[in-house]
Amino acid sequence: MIYLILSVTASICIFVVFKLLKKLKVNTFQTIVINYGIAFGFGILSVQKPITIHSILNSDWFLGSIIVGALFIGLFTMMAWTAQKNGLSVASVASKMSVIIPIIFGVILFHESIAYQKIIGIVLAFMAVYLVSAKSKTTINFKKNLMLPLALFLGSGLSDTYINYLQQTSISDEDIPLFSACVFGFAGIIGMLIISVKRMHNQLQWDPRSIPGGVILGLANYASLYYIIKALQSPNMESSTFFTLNNVAIVMISTLIGLWFFKEHLTKRNWTGIGLALIAIYLVTFA
């Protein structure tokens, strides 16, 4: 249970840091790039076997780690924008509800079982993302209210689906730490290339305040992944139970933090969406 609590705490810390970056007017993208450098360092330290460039380049998952790294930095940036523009509750629901998409692809690609509870949960998930993201009481502006959360929802789901595919086809259990470190590393490299191009065109000024934010974010990012793995390794914690408790706790606590500390406003429509999100997570996970 302690690993579950630590995993939830680390995940919520990520959302809170994104919100604080906007409040303190710190460059978000630079912070994200530094975060991946820190996460890469911790990932390399966690690898137990000898590491060689040759073994990495010739691994079956090498190209996949580059693709996932690109997806990670794009999604992390999208998550930051969603938390800053739409609120913590919207960002947490959009990212956590994305678990529905790999379930759909699991049924299609790997012929996993599907029950009516899963179907109901999937439908409720899409409804939940819409309702939580819609801040207006009357009309819905797609570009303002729905575009970022929907893109985060779909992008996170497709990323998880591709990672699941790699795990099924290319990644052995002993390669997971090195694969994770390479994903963080390539995400950081891609981010540095983007920053370098922007600096060359005088489109970006270096913000030294992004360093402490990146360190904190990197620690939280790595801790989130580390404690999820530790929790799943616990003999008394089934994966279905863990993911249900983990996702529900993140959605609820981030919503409360948004209300209490950042004075976010939720309409009845938003509360309905949060309720549907919790029901959907339960139905899909325990189906």
pLDDT in tens, 158-181: 887 888 788 778 887 778 788 888
> What pLDDT score was predicted for residue 179?
87
The single-letter code of the amino acid at 139 is T
Beta carbons within 8 Å of 78's beta carbon, 6+ residues apart: 148, 151, 152, 155
> Which residue matches tokens 């190209």?
63
Which position has the higher pLDDT, 148 or 212?
Answer: 212
Compute CA distances 256 → 25, 65, 264, whole Å. 23, 35, 9
Write out the two tokens for 19: 């919100």
The single residue listed with the structure tokens 């999604």 is 75
CB 3 within 8 A of CB 234: yes
User: Are the C-beta atoms of 285 and 240 separated by less than 8 Å?
Assistant: yes
Angle between helices 28-45 and 176-200 (to 10 degrees): 150
* Contact by Cβ (8 Å): 160, 102: yes
Give tens-digit pLDDT for 85-116. Answer: 888 878 887 887 777 777 777 777 767 666 78
Enter the tokens of residue 285: 């996970």
pLDDT score of 16 more than 60? yes
Residue 139 has pLDDT above 50, yes or no: no
With beta carbons less than 8 A apart as the criterion, state whether 283 and 121 touch. yes
pLDDT at 126 over 90: no
* 56-73 tens-digit pLDDT: 999 999 999 999 999 989
Residue 2 has pLDDT above 90, yes or no: no
Calpha distance 103→121 (Å, rounded): 11
Q: Is 25 helix (H, G, I), strand (E, B) or coil?
A: coil
Q: How far apart are CA 164 and CA 154, in angstroms?
A: 15
Q: Which residue do the tokens 């502006």 mark? A: 141
